[in-house]
Structure 1
């Protein structure tokens, strides 16, 4: 790992220095990919050829490994989608080398408006060991990350159960109190999913989930979507200064539109409209649904919009996500 410096120190690294060249030499590692290149990992017709197509496109865009992300739905539907991904990897050399595992984003998340984001509120549920075990069994040993709301696992039992089995537990789409979040960390929670998103457009200006998570950032891997749409670059720069390059991770949260451009796409049956700025809107334009940007485009944003040197970009997009996985 690179020698620790603050983000402000890193900003002073000359962009023509050796460290600033070839930020993705070792390939990006993306912990949150819902789909890619027209392929929806949450589609109920996913086939091995589809997964291979997505992997080929990601490889061309510099991704070395990724977590296939399954979002909130009926538990049986989520389990079937996990099995479909696992089965699609059998005999597929590229997919087997690139899919580092499965990320379940839900269903143990908040049902409250804003916090639930693009997930179907009616499918959210309190965490139970039985439900978590069903998802892990369906993943066939591939489940590496589960995003849940700490308030949906109030006693931390499911968090501890997952962590004991080598699954990274991340807070997301949630609004726990500071005490609830701290208790979840004590139980084994070690990450926060796309901080600054999965929360309402309007909330208390000081006492909010972003501030609570940042106050505990020294105990968490903190993930950000660096497309300039989900978080304005000025806010992202502030967050990165506080979290520091040693704890921050950039994820794409890519959907099937990634690598394709404007148009109409699908995520788990939802219609997603991608505009000319690559903002990914629900059909009614009420909220964002994943991202249409690739991780390579986000790495370019970090370089051009935030003036980060290549060693920091590599840390946020390759080294830290690798280190966060067990």
Structure 2
């Protein structure tokens, strides 16, 4: 495999994988554009919504993957991000707060069953998974479990790891802009970088270049994954775009922001409008990454984490 692997793609090139009216022609078009942009394999990401809406979206994507060889060539499976996340300000990010719920094995099973075997990954908040029961259930079913949009304590993270937690989703994001300067989720996760694979959004917006450099120094090269967290705006330029029924505004610098009810820009990101080729350019020219590091971070580490199941 010569192209990149992206484990978090909410949509691409004008197509929103979370749209209620998503159709197969749109998914094929997004897959073709991804491959033209050097991305061979992705996990299509379904974000927090009511459980009924999530199962419907997951089921529809699973039918598209299972029913079309061109889609299956690009979409290796589904990443479920939520609904078991932290609903507090900052941690919830662009996810709808009213749809966030505690983790239970019963609900996790519903989400998995709706995917007909195509769910490969699930992001949750360990502090809302008592004793790691849901994490263990998912791990026992060969799902890669990631912590994210969370404020888990060290003990909760360690408990999650003992129950099968293997990854952290887009470190440095899905958390408040203002936190305790030492005791915060970023520092806790970095302290466990030898036990977790950690993904980063390398668009220069979600994490400033200098901060990303610092983070990458703390994480073994074999434990880094670069993800775009792309939404429908990826590769489309500035303007108003969609993410799971909400409007997102992309500014002239290419940053994707949530919008308030009155149509103005909110103060938190809502996915990403930057493509993987642009992130690779940023990693090389502004972060100083080598070609060998980039190959690991954008391809082989994800392949290894998912044991070739991508």
TM-score calculated relative to the size of structure 1: 0.91
Partner Cα distance (1:143, 1:38) in 2: 23
Deviation of residue 86 (structure 1)? 1.3
Q: State whether structure 2 residue 99 is matched by structure 1 residue 123.
A: yes
| Residue from 247, 262, 269 that aligns with 2:238 | 262
Q: State whether structure 2 residue 200 is matched by structure 1 residue 224.
A: yes
Deviation of residue 92 (structure 1)? 2.2
Taking only aligned residues, the RMSD between alpha carbons, in angstroms, comes to 0.9
Any gaps of 5 or more consecutive residues in structure 1? 1-24
Partner Cα distance (2:10, 2:297) in 1: 20
Q: State whether structure 2 residue 214 is matched by structure 1 residue 233.
A: no
Partner of 1:29: 5
Q: State whether structure 2 residue 268 is matched by structure 1 residue 292.
A: no
Deviations 1:114-166 (A, max 9, x none): 10000011111111111000000111100000000001102101100000110
Q: State whether structure 2 residue 108 is matched by structure 1 residue 138.
A: no
Deviation of residue 244 (structure 1)? 2.3
| Residue from 17, 39, 43 that aligns with 1:41 | 17
Partner Cα distance (2:293, 2:277) in 1: 14
SS at match of 1:200: coil
Partner of 1:59: 35
SS at match of 1:305: helix
Deviation of residue 90 (structure 1)? 4.0
Q: State whether structure 2 residue 184 is matched by structure 1 residue 203.
A: no
| Residue from 226, 248, 259 that aligns with 2:224 | 248
Q: Higher mean Cα deviation, 249-258 or 83-92? A: 83-92
Aligned ranges 1:165-184 → 2 under 5 Å? 165-184=141-160
TM-score calculated relative to the size of structure 2: 0.96
Partner Cα distance (2:111, 2:210) in 1: 38
Partner of 1:12: none
Q: State whether structure 2 residue 176 is matched by structure 1 residue 190.
A: no
Partner of 2:129: 153
Are 1:48 and 1:89, in contact at CA under 8 Å, matched by a contact in 2?
A: no
Partner Cα distance (1:262, 1:282) in 2: 13
Partner Cα distance (1:177, 1:309) in 2: 34
Partner Cα distance (2:43, 2:54) in 1: 15
Partner Cα distance (2:276, 2:148) in 1: 20
Any gaps of 5 or more consecutive residues in structure 2? 261-265
Matched residues, number? 302
Deviation of residue 286 (structure 1)? 2.2
Deviation of residue 89 (structure 1)? 2.5
Partner Cα distance (2:175, 2:4) in 1: 27
Partner of 2:288: 307
Partner Cα distance (1:321, 1:231) in 2: 20
Deviations 1:181-236 (A, max 9, x none): 11111110000000000000111000000000000110000000000000000000
Deviations 1:54-76 (A, max 9, x none): 00110000000000000000001
Partner Cα distance (2:126, 2:205) in 1: 26
